[in-house]
Amino acid sequence: MTLMQAFPTRTRGVPLPLNRPVNRPVYRPLREPLGARGGTAPRRRPVPCRPGGAALRYPGTGLAISAAPHRRRPVSVATTVGLAVLAGMITLWLGLMAHFGELVNSNSADSSAGVPDRLAVVRVAAGESLQDVAARVAPDTPVRQVVERIRELNDLDSSMPVAGQTLIAPIG
């Protein structure tokens, strides 16, 4: 068994602070017996154990602190190099997965190459959505790509334009 914390032995005159609040003053008993100075006990105020301006003392914090000596083990060069190589391999793997995912989902920057380059001003008919407008102005191009291009050109947030609104759209 390892000794975690040792307290100094208490003297006879110091009262033990058990079962009481820590900041309440502890009164010392009178040292003189009755009648030592003429038959009556001296009248004086009880004195607290700590001075008035001193900080409160707490006998223990409740934390077990190891007293064993600890030395730092140096990290070897091989460990450092191994961790660096592992981090590089993880980074390379994540980059390849992101690139592969981009190719599979066809969200690359070249995907707008299928959208026609010629632009025209188009008027929206009553009850038409952006998908309807895109299918009407560029029937041979994927509708989703044309809608994205129309939103980008006109800075739109909604997919439902107002009837009679003019939009810049790719035609082809």
Give a yes or no: residue 120 inside a domain: no
Q: Which of 147, 118, 149, 117 is nearest to 132 (CA)?
A: 147
Give a yes or no: residue 86 inside a domain: yes
| CB neighbourhood size of 115 (10 A) | 19
Q: What is the pLDDT of residue 18?
A: 56
SS3 label, residue 137: helix
Give a yes or no: residue 89 inside a domain: yes
Q: What is the pLDDT of residue 104?
A: 80
Which portions of the chain are predicted below pLDDT 70? Answer: 1-52, 55-65, 106-113
Give a yes or no: residue 158 inside a domain: no
Describe the chain by its helix, strand, coil percentages, rounded to 5: 30, 5, 60
CA–CA separation, 159 and 129 (whole Å): 6
User: Alpha-carbon torsion 46, 49, 50, 51, what sign?
Assistant: positive
Q: What is the pLDDT of residue 108?
A: 47
Give a yes or no: residue 118 inside a domain: no
CA–CA separation, 16 and 13 (whole Å): 10
The residue to which tokens 């190589």 are assigned: 85
CA–CA separation, 84 and 105 (whole Å): 32
pLDDT in tens, 96-142: 999 888 888 765 444 445 788 899 999 999 999 999 999 999 988 88
Total of domains in the chain: 1
Mention every residue, 6+ apart, whose C-beta is less than 8 A from residue 17: 26, 59
Give a yes or no: residue 57 inside a domain: no
Q: What is the pLDDT of residue 95?
A: 94
Tell me how long the chain is.
172
Q: What is the pLDDT of residue 167?
A: 93
Give a yes or no: residue 88 inside a domain: yes
| Residue 92 domain boundaries | 78-104
Q: What is the pLDDT of residue 154?
A: 92
Q: What is the pLDDT of residue 69?
A: 77
> What are the DSSP E strand ranges found in 33-79?
none
Give a yes or no: residue 32 inside a domain: no
Both tokens assigned to 57: 């003392």
